[in-house]
Structure 1
């Protein structure tokens, strides 16, 4: 390796070093320490005490916990988290449609793109308060539903207080807030597709649907992989929406796996048990990621 190449590498790594240091402190070390805590009993007051697989045995109802069975709160929360994955295909389809809509040279198109992105950069504390008001029994959502005949005007209810639909109401907020983010990613993907391919297809007599299905969609496949993977992981580890809007209620209907981790760590001070639950959630996210990757055929665009 010559001196010039070594100097180039030194400069490159010199620029990357501050970010790598931050990654090590705020990402890699928490992952390693959290994995270690999963095999310990830790209440933040006393030093961590190694307990081996006991936390996982309690989660799965094995060993000394076989008589009690699996931790129902955790598995109920994980079931709700997996239900939350239903939002993924909806948000991807709508984001692609929205990206195609704003991928045009129209007057004030930049304003429309910005407007769609505003919810993404809005704090979830603000979003949660706003949607709590909108879902109120006398809020605008109920007003529209009663006008459409979908709700009894004489007996309006807060949608977040109905155990049957509270989780889906929170899902809609996630959909509304994340739509602009994925729209921008798909917009970048659309603009990277060679326009001459679409023009050639139109000249050959292809319809808009044929152009979309045979050229646009294959060209977006790498972006679909990234977006669907990100949204799937976000859905499984959903927490902010639940914490701000419902705190797991009503009657536990919006209780999710990450809310279980929060409750175990910051309410019951069982940090080792919470870390073990978090590790299980990470494995579930990895499994869904592999499934996602297989369904999109590795993101190949050809």
Structure 2
């Protein structure tokens, strides 16, 4: 009996790990193995023409530390995060509150706001590139109201922000649906009780909606931060990292070095940049976990 009970205890302890095994297998194949491959190629020099591989140690990391384009790409990536994430964490919440109203035909407004999500980024990129053109719609509007036209995609000062607008426009509908699911889970009785206490309009949402939506806001902030760190299609289609590297991010610079560079160490150097990007995303995840733990402790302290 004792052997049978001990066997059952071991099996019960191992049961959760058996359930986690499929997910760990997928993560290992899709995440951890590529990271190990990037780490391997970052210390090697691969020549695709001669098909030779040579150990170079930390030379790629030394080159990275002295590469001004890398540091500019890193600054652009961080600026992208600082500008895009707050807007994608707040604007969709306002949209979700609007389309959560019980009005006739509100479903059509939800579909309209969600439409950009289902449009291919390639199609969206070319469409916005036309809107930003010298004779495009945006410049036509500016000239119609008395302003001079802007070089949206060819000016180093505004090119990156023009690309950010596309990312925000594309993500509004997606994150709106995430918030909408959270809003519909909030009991209507809370709003009715708040109205009796004199809380109405914007104040009602500040008192009830925002505090109860904090887990969703944190989720959207994390997802949008990771997406903004990996932004590629918009830049590839609209600016190719220009002008003067003003819109070049880490992902695009990694791709450029790995697949468009003619140097012998281009592929390994691109892997090194990709490894740095992985560490940046890992840091964002650790910060998110810290904020989530701190928020949970504060909420438990309040209760």
Shorter-normalised TM range: 0.7 to 0.9
Is the contact made by 1:232 and 1:289 (CA closer than 8 Å) also made in structure 2? Answer: no
Output aligned runs, 1:48-87, within 5 Å: 48-60=53-65, 70-85=66-81, 86-87=83-84
The alpha carbon displacement at 1:147 in A equals 2.2
User: For 2:279 and 2:20, how far apart are their aligned partners in 1?
Assistant: 29
User: For 1:166 and 1:83, how far apart are their aligned partners in 2?
Assistant: 13
The alpha carbon displacement at 1:100 in A equals 0.5
The alpha carbon displacement at 1:8 in A equals 11
Structure 2 residue corresponding to 1:100, chosen from 92, 97, 104: 97
Using structure 1 for the length normalisation, give the TM-score. 0.83
Unaligned ranges ≥5, structure 1: 61-69
Is residue 2:32 matched to residue 1:35? Answer: no
Is the contact made by 1:222 and 1:299 (CA closer than 8 Å) also made in structure 2? Answer: no
Is the contact made by 2:142 and 2:148 (CA closer than 8 Å) also made in structure 1? Answer: yes
User: For 2:165 and 2:105, how far apart are their aligned partners in 1?
Assistant: 28
The alpha carbon displacement at 1:19 in A equals 6.4
C-alpha RMSD of matched pairs (Å): 3.1
Match of 2:182 in 1: 189
Q: Give SS of 1:146's match.
A: helix
User: For 1:122 and 1:245, how far apart are their aligned partners in 2?
Assistant: 16
The alpha carbon displacement at 1:53 in A equals 2.5
Q: CA offsets per residue over residues 177-228 of structure 1, 9 Å max, x none? A: 1111111111112122233222222222223333222221111111111111
Q: Give SS of 2:271's match.
A: helix
Q: How many residues are matched?
A: 289
Per mean C-alpha deviation after superposition, the further-off stretch among 3-12 and 49-58 is 3-12
Q: Give SS of 1:193's match.
A: coil
Is the contact made by 2:257 and 2:266 (CA closer than 8 Å) also made in structure 1? Answer: yes
Match of 1:64 in 2: none
